[in-house]
Amino acid sequence: MKSIGIEDLINLVKTYKTEGLEKIRKAYDMASVLHEGQFRQSGEPYIIHPLNVAYILAEIHADIDTICAGLLHDTIEDTNVKKEEIEENFNSDVANLVDGVTKISKLNFSNKVDENMANTRKIITGITEDVRIIIIKLADRLHNMRTLQYKKHFKQVENSIETLEIFVPLAYYIGAYRIKTELEDLSLSYIKPDMYKRIEATKLKIELENKDLLLDMTNKIIRILNDSGIPNEIKIRTKNIYGIYRKVIIGQKLSEVHDLLSLKVMVDSIDNCYRTLGMIHKEYHSIDENFKDYIWNPKTNMYRSLHTTVFGPDNKLVQAQIRTFDMDKIASFGLCTYWEINNDGARDLMQKELKEKYQFFKSLIEINSMFGDNREFVNQVKKEVFSDNVYVYTPKGEVIELPLGSTIIDFAYKIHTDVGNKMVGAIVNDKYVNEYYVLKNKDRVFILTDEAAFGPRDNWIDIAQTSTAKKKIREFKIREK
């Protein structure tokens, strides 16, 4: 891994920001002094770690305060500096960010489990205060995972499991796919090293065998788009190792993985996305059941793209992901893209988007309000938010995200409290179902309500799976007493 110095960081920031560079140097100097005499298990001076965290943040065009917080992120935890000193030297934003990523003191706990649960809760709920706290933690975890070889085997596995359980879902939910996929692959390399190496070797072999085929398709599509006057760029992508592993463990053959080989086709407008789709389908036969329109119906983390799987040369399955240039940035970095769109006002825009558009955000707030015990909170988040989900549609085509195993009760209360309280049944895929019905992916759900309904039945609280539904049912019962 390339050694990063302060000048490397400054030069990277200069590519997108010319102001605030002295503030970054000041943060680096402060962190260097405070971490003087501290070393990582690799033997390197400790300052190398916060410098790399700041560099990762600069790669996604983070604002100056976030980069400063990245440089200072371990100072409250590992040195004698106080939050007030950081605020005095910088500002309240930097101080709050550093405090947000700082672990709670061990002195507050009687055992390691309670300490871990409290800190995990602090990490997860940090996003409700300032999404930049989570982004710094993701950068911190990414560099730690990149240098995990210096830890003992037990810690390697422990950190990798935690990464998959907590940090990968967080990266997914804010749309930071590049960080997510790297964290997944690094984690798998420590949890199942033999499997990782086998899949890695197979992936490299597949890439080599299909290099000419994919280049042929790329050049042909570029010619077609150029002839039609559509500005474009195409990148070749192979599914990440962990993604392939997930397919393998459920018994799927690699030849059947429709998105193993992909072409990312970027164009200049939404209209040209659909034009491009038609041109690709005219040239290559498509598999209808694998078509996804995430432009009209974005994923719940605001990912937008058209996905179509076609038969390429030699009948090889190739997925084409068609999107605008801006959609491609969001597909790679998610909410972090707002730093590029609106650097100075990005933080407020990120929080506004989270509150208004991201379904998981509301679930986190609800669960946080319901569980005082840290262990119960973390377990509920893992079960309800960070586990496998089911995606269903409202009558208007809106995608609703719910934990796997959810019923129409959960769906109804997700829509609105009154809808849940007045529900008398539902129409799913044009068939009547009762409250026991367990939702499946792509179900189309219409809730039947009656103004004269006497509210949720006594057994609904046991049928419901989500904290939101259970809470609203309890609140109704309390009001009716």
Concatenating the DSSP letter of every residue in 384-449 gives HTSS-EEEEE-TT--EEEEETT-BHHHHHHHH-HHHHHTEEEEEETTEEE-TTPBP-TT-BEEEEE
Give the predicted TM-score (pTM) of the model: 0.90
Q: Where are the domains of the chain?
A: 6-192, 210-334, 388-480
**Is 358 in a helix, a strand, or coil?**
coil
Q: Which listed CATH number (3.30.460.10, 3.10.129.10, 3.10.520.10, 3.30.1300.30) goes with 210-334?
A: 3.30.460.10
Residue 222 corresponds to which amino acid?
I
- Give the pLDDT of residue 343: 67
Residue pair 211/227 in contact (Cβ under 8 Å)? The answer is no
Number of H helices, E strands in the chain: 25, 10
- The residues of the chain scoring below 50 in pLDDT are none
Q: Which of 131, 182, 122, 130 is nearest to 336 (CA)?
A: 131
β-bridge pairing 306-311 and 232-238:
unpaired
- Give the pLDDT of residue 235: 96
How far apart CA 123 and CA 138 sit, in angstroms, is: 10
- Interaxial angle between packed helices 21-34 and 64-72, expressed in degrees from 0 to 180 and rounded to the nearest 10: 10
Q: Which of 277, 276, 307 is nearest to 293 (CA)?
A: 307
Q: Degrees (nearest 5) of the Cα angle 7, 12, 16?
A: 135
CATH number for the segment(s) 388-480: 3.10.20.30
CATH number for the segment(s) 6-192: 1.10.3210.10
Cα dihedral value 400, 406, 411, 413, nearest 10: -120
- Give the pLDDT of residue 117: 93
Q: Which residues are catalytic?
A: 77-78
Residue pair 176/333 in contact (Cβ under 8 Å)? The answer is yes
pLDDT digits (tens, 9 = 90+) for 432-454: 999 899 999 999 999 999 988 88
User: In angstroms, what CA-CA distances link 143 with 140, 236, 281, 451?
Assistant: 5, 26, 42, 56
Q: Which burial class, exposed, middle or buried, applies to 15 when counting CB atoms under 10 A from its CB (0-12, 13-18, 19+)?
A: exposed
Q: How many CA atoms lie within 13 A of 299 on its CB side?
A: 18
Give the tokens for residue 417: 């409290």
Residue 69 corresponds to which amino acid?
A
- Residue with tokens 């760029």, as numbered in its chain: 233
